[in-house]
Amino acid sequence: MFFVFDRFGWRWRGVRSAVGIPDVSGTWSLDGVSYDQDHQPKWQWSGQVEITQKYEKIFVCLRTAQSGSHSISAALVPEGRRYRLIYSYRNQPKPGEPELQAHIGHCELLFEPDLQTAEGCYFNGGGRFTHGTMTLKRSVPDAA
């Protein structure tokens, strides 16, 4: 019974309202800006974020032309009518990217109440010391 609830049941609109968990799963387009250690913009970049969500678990996978990352841990925290996705990740550059190194990081994204956009920031360590901002837009609008 929990299997059905974990995968499907919590997504039903009435149940989602009762348990207080939004459905942020899906594909999101991403625009980002990375800053160097002196807080100066260094790179503008774009990519795609795929969020896989069940009642108890969230998995975030980010892909750009230069690298890919996946979440190690993730949580959704309510903030009034909005929700904040907080996650740590491991990033692996694609071969041939001399300025990138494998690294770990932390990201926080604040979703608007309609769950169609989100904005946030991230920072890296353990191999790359940058930070930046990200803006997400749901690729296929959903009536979340």
pLDDT value for 11: 67
Ranges of each domain in the chain: 23-138
18-30 burial code (b ≥16 CB/10 A, e <16): eeebbebbbebeb
Contact at 8 Å (CB) between 127 and 101? yes
Over residues 118-128, mean pLDDT:
87
- Per residue in 15-74, pLDDT tens? 666 667 889 999 999 999 999 878 889 889 999 999 999 878 999 999 999 899 999 999
Fold of 23-138: Lipocalin (2.40.128)
Contact at 8 Å (CB) between 52 and 82? no
pTM assigned to the model: 0.84
Q: Residue 73: which H helix or E strand, with range?
A: strand 67-79
- Per residue in 72-97, pLDDT tens? 999 999 999 999 999 999 998 888 87
pLDDT value for 111: 97
pLDDT value for 143: 46
